[in-house]
Amino acid sequence: MPHVEFAPALTRHVPCTPQQVAAPTLRAALDRALDAAPALRSYVLDEQGAVRRHVAVFVNARQIASRSALDIPLEDGDRVVVIQALTGG
Protein backbone atom coordinates (compact mmCIF):
# COMPACT_ATOMS: atom_id res chain seq x y z
CA MET A 1 0.00 0.00 0.00
CA PRO A 2 1.15 3.57 -0.61
CA HIS A 3 2.38 5.59 2.37
CA VAL A 4 0.99 9.14 2.81
CA GLU A 5 2.57 11.69 5.11
CA PHE A 6 1.82 15.35 5.79
CA ALA A 7 4.63 17.68 6.83
CA PRO A 8 4.69 19.14 10.36
CA ALA A 9 3.90 22.63 9.01
CA LEU A 10 0.45 21.25 8.10
CA THR A 11 -0.10 18.80 10.95
CA ARG A 12 0.67 21.31 13.66
CA HIS A 13 -2.73 22.87 12.85
CA VAL A 14 -4.61 19.62 12.22
CA PRO A 15 -3.04 16.41 13.52
CA CYS A 16 -2.77 13.65 10.91
CA THR A 17 -0.35 10.78 11.42
CA PRO A 18 1.42 9.07 8.51
CA GLN A 19 -0.80 6.41 6.96
CA GLN A 20 -0.73 3.37 4.73
CA VAL A 21 -3.72 3.60 2.37
CA ALA A 22 -5.20 1.22 -0.14
CA ALA A 23 -5.38 3.47 -3.19
CA PRO A 24 -4.68 2.98 -6.92
CA THR A 25 -4.07 6.69 -7.65
CA LEU A 26 -2.67 9.78 -5.99
CA ARG A 27 -6.16 11.34 -5.80
CA ALA A 28 -7.55 8.27 -4.03
CA ALA A 29 -4.58 8.18 -1.66
CA LEU A 30 -5.04 11.83 -0.73
CA ASP A 31 -8.78 11.37 -0.30
CA ARG A 32 -8.32 8.37 2.01
CA ALA A 33 -5.59 10.06 4.03
CA LEU A 34 -7.64 13.25 4.39
CA ASP A 35 -10.64 11.22 5.57
CA ALA A 36 -8.63 10.72 8.78
CA ALA A 37 -8.31 14.50 9.24
CA PRO A 38 -11.20 16.20 7.41
CA ALA A 39 -10.20 19.68 8.59
CA LEU A 40 -6.86 19.29 6.77
CA ARG A 41 -8.62 18.86 3.40
CA SER A 42 -9.20 22.60 2.94
CA TYR A 43 -5.51 23.32 3.66
CA VAL A 44 -4.41 20.86 0.94
CA LEU A 45 -7.12 20.90 -1.76
CA ASP A 46 -9.16 23.74 -3.21
CA GLU A 47 -12.89 23.71 -3.96
CA GLN A 48 -12.30 21.96 -7.32
CA GLY A 49 -10.15 19.23 -5.74
CA ALA A 50 -6.85 20.57 -7.05
CA VAL A 51 -3.77 20.92 -4.86
CA ARG A 52 -3.61 24.45 -3.45
CA ARG A 53 -0.87 26.77 -4.67
CA HIS A 54 0.82 26.94 -1.26
CA VAL A 55 1.08 23.12 -1.06
CA ALA A 56 3.53 20.81 -2.82
CA VAL A 57 2.97 17.07 -3.29
CA PHE A 58 5.77 14.60 -3.92
CA VAL A 59 5.50 10.98 -5.05
CA ASN A 60 8.69 9.05 -4.37
CA ALA A 61 10.61 12.32 -3.87
CA ARG A 62 9.46 13.80 -7.23
CA GLN A 63 7.15 16.79 -7.19
CA ILE A 64 3.95 16.25 -9.15
CA ALA A 65 3.76 18.28 -12.36
CA SER A 66 0.08 19.23 -12.26
CA ARG A 67 -1.99 20.46 -9.34
CA SER A 68 -5.22 19.15 -10.89
CA ALA A 69 -4.24 15.95 -12.75
CA LEU A 70 -4.03 13.68 -9.73
CA ASP A 71 -4.80 10.43 -11.56
CA ILE A 72 -1.16 9.39 -11.12
CA PRO A 73 -1.06 5.62 -10.57
CA LEU A 74 0.45 4.44 -7.30
CA GLU A 75 1.93 1.08 -6.41
CA ASP A 76 2.59 -0.73 -3.16
CA GLY A 77 5.44 0.97 -1.33
CA ASP A 78 5.08 4.34 -3.06
CA ARG A 79 5.61 7.29 -0.75
CA VAL A 80 3.48 10.43 -0.94
CA VAL A 81 4.62 13.50 1.00
CA VAL A 82 2.54 16.67 1.25
CA ILE A 83 4.32 19.82 2.36
CA GLN A 84 3.47 23.47 2.77
CA ALA A 85 5.31 25.27 -0.04
CA LEU A 86 6.79 28.72 0.25
CA THR A 87 5.10 31.29 -1.96
CA GLY A 88 5.56 34.95 -2.50
CA GLY A 89 8.01 37.19 -4.20
The residue extents of the domains of the chain are 3-84
- Out of 3.40.50.2000, 3.10.20.30, 3.40.350.10, 1.10.10.1100, the CATH code matching 3-84 is 3.10.20.30
What number is the average pLDDT over the span 35-50? Answer: 95
Give mean pLDDT, residues 14-20: 93
Torsion angle (degrees, nearest 10) of CA 41, 4, 31, 54: 40
Looking at residue 13, its pLDDT comes to 82
Q: Is the pTM of this model over 0.85?
A: yes
Which residues lie closer than 8 Å to 9 by C-beta, 6 or more apart?
83, 84
Number of Cβ within 10 Å of residue 36's Cβ equals: 14
Mean pLDDT of the chain: 94
